[in-house]
Structure 1
Amino acid sequence: MNLRFRKNGTFRVLQMADIQDGPDVNEDTIRLIRAAIAEGDPDLIVLTGDQIRGYDPAYIDTFLRRRDDEPGEHIRSVTKLEARVRGITPMDESGPDVDADAADHKALLAAAMDATRQKVRRTFASFLSPAIEAHVPFAATYGNHDFQCGILVDEQDDMYREFDGCLNPKTDAHTDTNANTNPLTCEPGTFALPIAASDGSDRIAMSVMMVNSGDYAGKAGDEDGEPASYMEGTPQALHSFTHELYARHSRTIDLADSAGYGSPSPEALQWLGDVQRHLGEANGDNAPVPSIVFQHIPPQEFYRCLRQVPAWTPNAVEGTRAFAHRCYVIDESICRPGAILGESIGCPDEDCGEVDAMRNAGGYFALFTGHDHKNAFIGHVDGMDLGYAPTCGFESYGPKSALRGIRLFVFHEDDPAAYDSRMLTFGELIGRHSGNELRVFIGDHLMTDGASVRNQLRRPKVFAAALLTAATTAHVVWHDVIRRLWRR
């Protein structure tokens, strides 16, 4: 399927970030997707990772917290609790190495993997149905939760291609020769989608680049990602070490034994330059083609869209990991009007050099991500736009219902870098309230560590409510004390 600018010189794209749902996709998510397609009239839909809620109880038997885990190991406590509430029982409560015949366990695991594949297909069929019905092509890359269901992204890539309209190309990177013969592709989730000129020629007027930004960096203490030496210690030592990591990096359980979030592979970074040379050669002028990159995890440069402020600043958020103990707000001199910073930027601990690679290659004018569900801004840093789409899902944490949405882009053939963009929100398209406002409220006010507690207290309404609650409690306690003393 060839993509092409319309005769009026425009090309319209919808970015859907962090659907993050299980096999039965939330109906509000489907309503939002369907309404955004009707409103946005897109030529292309890009899915920028975490389409799959890999830690959902539906995948409790095949869950992978990290890629080198055994299926079903290290299940989150919250997932176990949710499984009990939903009546889901793991296939083998004792685990693969305790009181279970190896052959029987292997058969059970194979059956569980097949069941997971069907659940993933069901998830895809659900959130893709509005696009398929509207005959809008789509492309998908991956986030840090997609693989956790137990089905790795290369197999998920094959599954996406089972659906009409999928533009994910098949790569040769996993073959025996390990040689990729298509210069427009690099690996599952990393590929180029050239947009042809409106005049009917073969000239490439613009390109949409999908980049797999990885999931988690190597385990703590081991930069190569191999099991760190502490894994060979006693259970007591392991517990102590893990507890220390949780205390230091408690933003999410998946980071507890890692060196932070992942980055694009070295091959993908090299490809960002190689593909621009190929596109220039295809056009016959060897000039870089105007291009936008879509991926899941933001690089560290996104912090440059923010301004550091004192800790008591209303609505400020604390940075995490490499940016911990500093508070930030949107830098209005850099970001477009309407920018929203609802949480810290969850970037890798180290800069892999992706943005520099894009600048060196030429042609790249923007990089858009998801990952941080409450953020929705576009900043301009050193000649390049850096932007977010918030979550469009309703089964994970995020902002209030009215602010969950899908980002619309309108590119202009004569100057793709001068694109228009706006959020198509649930509040605008559907209404202020979702079908489960309690779940949304909990997700909007989720507190997992000290930083998230402080972030909540910087929200004026939350602070006022907390102050009123504290004052009311103090008033009741004081009067109770006075009453008891009076009776004496």
Structure 2
Amino acid sequence: MVQNRLRFRSNGSFSILQFTDMHIQDGGEKDARTLALVDQMIADEQPDLVVITGDVIASYDIEDQEGAFRRAIAGIVKSGIPFAVIYGNHDSEKGITRQRLNEILREYDNNLSIDGPEDVHGIGNYVLTVEGSAGDEAAAALYFFDSGDYAPETIGGYAWIQPDQVEWYRNESMALREKSGNHTLPALAFFHIPIPEYEQVCQVGTIEGIKGEAVCCPKLNSGLFAAMLEMGDVMGTFAGHDHDNDYVGQLFGIQLCYGRVTGYNTYGKLERGSRVIKLVEGSHEFETSIRLHKQ
């Protein structure tokens, strides 16, 4: 497999295109509209990296989960642009496992997704680095987390990022800092289910964008946000899951961002689209905005 190296462009820019909640099913008309959206956004934005933050397929409502997944990523694969995937609560709900989905991804040269450590909860905990424009040293970091699916019945609701995943993040962050001469790399984090701070920011922080539904976060807070504050590297987090939310919230210096729902085969009143994220080499800031489907 070709090793895709992420790198800031010569002008110091690096752009990410986030799709979320595609909910690809059986290849019908709504799927076709979703995939046309993906193709259009990639052609318009020409990003350096494509990220899908979960619920790529609606596995619970179809029989050919593998076929749906291959259709979902076909346009991204064809583009040749490096891409990374994390999973949501619906991807492996029926008929297929996260491990099998990752096996499919490994068939494609521009895939960057990996299973992650076997001794850490979940499939798809990994970090990608973005090299500087003039060399091969890391200039930014991108963390990916498997946020799970559902909590035990005794608790209810959605799963939470587990303590060993938080510890994994701390260790990765410290290792990157040491490798970079005690320099804190600017970083972003991606997961499907929003962490509880997405709800908290609506009460004590500031938000810009649309909050059209309640935040469906886990009932338990396992401390990922606190760890990010302590490590000082993560500037922003990006989630999906709640299709009628697309806001960006500022909480204690970290931006908590929703992607814009991409898939037509699911609930939600918002126009379908994507989120663009732009990094600048050497800066601990980023810009982000919504892109809508032009039909």
The separation in 2 between residues aligned to 1:386 and 1:348, in whole angstroms, is 15
The separation in 1 between residues aligned to 2:115 and 2:258, in whole angstroms, is 27
2:228 to 358, 375, 388: 358
* Greater RCO, 1 or 2 (C-alpha within 8 Å, sep 6+): 2
The separation in 2 between residues aligned to 1:5 and 1:192, in whole angstroms, is 16
Determine the structure 2 residue equivalent to 1:263.
Answer: 160
| 1:347 and 2:281 aligned | no
Determine the structure 2 residue equivalent to 1:210.
Answer: 144
| 1:5 and 2:16 aligned | no
% identity of equivalent residues: 30
Q: Which amino acid is 1:263 matched to?
A: W
The separation in 2 between residues aligned to 1:172 and 1:296, in whole angstroms, is 19
2:24 to 21, 25, 28: 21
Cα deviation, 1:192-213, whole Å, max 9, x if unaligned, reads 01000001x2221101111111
Given that 1:10 and 1:411 are in contact with CA atoms closer than 8 Å, whether structure 2 keeps it comes out as yes
| 1:126 and 2:64 aligned | no
The separation in 1 between residues aligned to 2:223 and 2:19, in whole angstroms, is 25
Given that 1:24 and 1:122 are in contact with CA atoms closer than 8 Å, whether structure 2 keeps it comes out as no
| 1:152 and 2:97 aligned | yes
Distance 1:187 1:218, change over 3 A: closer
How far does residue 214 in structure 1 lie from its aligned partner after superposition?
A: 1.2
Q: Secondary structure at the match of 1:146?
A: coil
Q: Which amino acid is 2:262 matched to?
A: C
Given that 2:116 and 2:126 are in contact with CA atoms closer than 8 Å, whether structure 1 keeps it comes out as no
Q: Secondary structure at the match of 1:409?
A: strand
Q: Which amino acid is 1:354 matched to?
A: L
How far does residue 23 in structure 1 lie from its aligned partner after superposition?
A: 3.8
Q: Secondary structure at the match of 1:350?
A: coil
Determine the structure 2 residue equivalent to 1:189.
Answer: 124
Q: Higher Cα Rg: structure 1 or 2?
A: 1
Matches of residues 4-153 of structure 1 in structure 2 within 5 Å?
4-24=7-27, 26-56=31-61, 58-59=62-63, 119-153=64-98
Q: Secondary structure at the match of 2:127?
A: strand
The separation in 2 between residues aligned to 1:343 and 1:217, in whole angstroms, is 20
Determine the structure 1 residue equivalent to 2:192.
Answer: 296
Q: Which amino acid is 1:215 matched to?
A: D
Q: Which amino acid is 1:157 matched to?
A: N
The separation in 2 between residues aligned to 1:368 and 1:197, in whole angstroms, is 23
Determine the structure 2 residue equivalent to 1:396.
Answer: 266
Q: Which amino acid is 2:275 matched to?
A: R
Determine the structure 2 residue equivalent to 1:410.
Answer: 278
How does the TM-score come out when normalised to structure 1?
A: 0.57
Given that 2:195 and 2:218 are in contact with CA atoms closer than 8 Å, whether structure 1 keeps it comes out as yes
How far does residue 170 in structure 1 lie from its aligned partner after superposition?
A: 4.5
How far does residue 423 in structure 1 lie from its aligned partner after superposition?
A: 0.9
2:206 to 292, 315, 334: 334
| Count, aligned residues | 290
How far does residue 139 in structure 1 lie from its aligned partner after superposition?
A: 0.7
The separation in 1 between residues aligned to 2:265 and 2:144, in whole angstroms, is 25
Given that 1:21 and 1:396 are in contact with CA atoms closer than 8 Å, whether structure 2 keeps it comes out as no
The separation in 2 between residues aligned to 1:275 and 1:264, in whole angstroms, is 16
| 1:423 and 2:280 aligned | no
How does the TM-score come out when normalised to structure 2?
A: 0.93
The separation in 2 between residues aligned to 1:164 and 1:6, in whole angstroms, is 21
Matches of residues 378-397 of structure 1 in structure 2 within 5 Å?
378-397=248-267
Cα deviation, 1:57-105, whole Å, max 9, x if unaligned, reads x23xxxxxxxxxxxxxxxxxxxxxxxxxxxxxxxxxxxxxxxxxxxxxx
RMSD (CA atoms): 1.8
Given that 1:272 and 1:361 are in contact with CA atoms closer than 8 Å, whether structure 2 keeps it comes out as no
Q: Which amino acid is 1:306 matched to?
A: C
- Could you list the runs of 4 or more consecutive aligned residues of structure 1 that deviate by over 3 angstroms after TM superposition? none
Q: Secondary structure at the match of 1:261?
A: coil
Structure 2: segments with no counterpart, 5+ residues:
none
The separation in 2 between residues aligned to 1:361 and 1:187, in whole angstroms, is 22
Given that 1:372 and 1:390 are in contact with CA atoms closer than 8 Å, whether structure 2 keeps it comes out as no
Given that 1:18 and 1:370 are in contact with CA atoms closer than 8 Å, whether structure 2 keeps it comes out as yes
1:371 to 233, 241, 244: 241
Matches of residues 210-289 of structure 1 in structure 2 within 5 Å?
210-220=144-154, 259-283=156-180, 285-289=181-185
Q: Which amino acid is 2:245 matched to?
A: N
Given that 1:260 and 1:349 are in contact with CA atoms closer than 8 Å, whether structure 2 keeps it comes out as yes
How far does residue 299 in structure 1 lie from its aligned partner after superposition?
A: 1.1
Q: Which amino acid is 1:191 matched to?
A: Y
Given that 2:53 and 2:85 are in contact with CA atoms closer than 8 Å, whether structure 1 keeps it comes out as yes
